[in-house]
Amino acid sequence: MSVKSAILGTATAATIALSWAMSPGPARAEGPSILVQSTTSTQNSGLYDYLLPIYRKETGVTVHVVAVGTGQALKNGKNCDGDMLVVHAKPAELKFVREGYGVDRHDLMYNDFVIVGPAPDPAGIKGMKDVGAALKKIAASHALFASRGDDSGTNKAEMRLWKATGIDPKTGSGGWYRETGSGMGATLNASVGMGAYTLTDRSTWISFKNKGDFSIDVQGDPRLFNQYGVMLINPKRCASVKAGLARQFEDWLLSKHGQEVIAAYHVDGQQLFFPNPK
């Protein structure tokens, strides 16, 4: 093989490979689309796999979801990366709107947080309703507790609960208090792996498939309420935001029909999200 033909051959192969790579993706990804920054809890619970095809069928609009923690979703929103947010940390969301990064924020739906733990129940919290007392017992017995540790909505909720007890769990960090820095599912896997209690939203827990000997220990405290909100990324700040399409999806989610679709999502016979727009 001569040098010239080798170079020619390489160039041809490269051209073919690149034109293949740059060719448009699968047909179903075409047409109008928006990008929603959302949370791992909603993705891991399968809500989007259920809901988005219905929306696409009715409107022809494809909704793409990037699932990260609420903290990162808000940051990505500040960077104008996306059109819309579905997250769950109301105080942080309201601040986001106040600072002009988001507009049209509405309550969308709720579920609740629960504390799950291993069958031996080393802290003896099974059946408790008072989440503050349960956390105190965990801290006092130095039973393992896995925290998201990632500034997500669930993590923010957990830190609020700890703060109310007056205990700073971070003094036990690396010991009994273990911050995984990961999504909800990954943290549940870690909890089951090391037999640690953790705070999770009920939807992720119900649809989670690697439960081991874990079950719900603490539930029913009003402080465990978990509100999800929806808003647009401010189109006045971010020219790239597809405000019309995003507003159309938001209106659909908040409409009577959208609420019925959300309420109809069940896993193992249990409703995962309860719509409550005002």
Q: Which residues bind other proteins (CB under 8 A)?
A: 1-3, 6-7, 10, 13-14, 17-18, 20-22, 25-26, 28-29, 35, 40, 43-44, 46, 48-49, 52, 62, 64-67, 76, 78-81, 182-186, 188-189, 207-211, 238, 240
Q: Which residues of 38-77 are buried (b: 16+ CB within 10 A; e: fewer)?
A: bbbbbbbbbbbebbbeebeeeeebbbebebbbbbbbbbbb
- Considering the complex, what minimum distance in angstroms separates the CB of residue 79 from other proteins? 4
Residue 265 near residue 50 (C-beta atoms within 8 A): yes
- Considering the complex, what minimum distance in angstroms separates the CB of residue 72 from other proteins? 10
Which tokens hold the place of 188? Answer: 């549940």
- Considering the complex, what minimum distance in angstroms separates the CB of residue 133 from other proteins? 29
Q: How far apart are CA 248 and CA 166, in angstroms?
A: 44
Closest CA to 62 of 105, 84, 30, 102: 30
Q: Which is nearer to other proteins, 209 or 256 (CB)?
A: 209
Q: How do beta strands 225-233 and 102-117 pair?
A: antiparallel
Distances (CA, A) of 271 to 72, 203, 276: 27, 8, 14
- Considering the complex, what minimum distance in angstroms separates the CB of residue 61 from other proteins? 13
Q: Which is nearer to other proteins, 7 or 264 (CB)?
A: 7
- Considering the complex, what minimum distance in angstroms separates the CB of residue 190 from other proteins? 11
Helices H / strands E in the chain, number of each: 11, 12
Q: Which is nearer to other proteins, 25 or 222 (CB)?
A: 25
Which tokens hold the place of 130? Answer: 């008072």
- Considering the complex, what minimum distance in angstroms separates the CB of residue 263 from other proteins? 22
Q: Which is nearer to other proteins, 100 or 175 (CB)?
A: 100
Q: Which is nearer to other proteins, 116 or 134 (CB)?
A: 116
Q: Which is nearer to other proteins, 40 or 111 (CB)?
A: 40
Which tokens hold the place of 139? Answer: 């801290």
Residue 225 near residue 110 (C-beta atoms within 8 A): yes
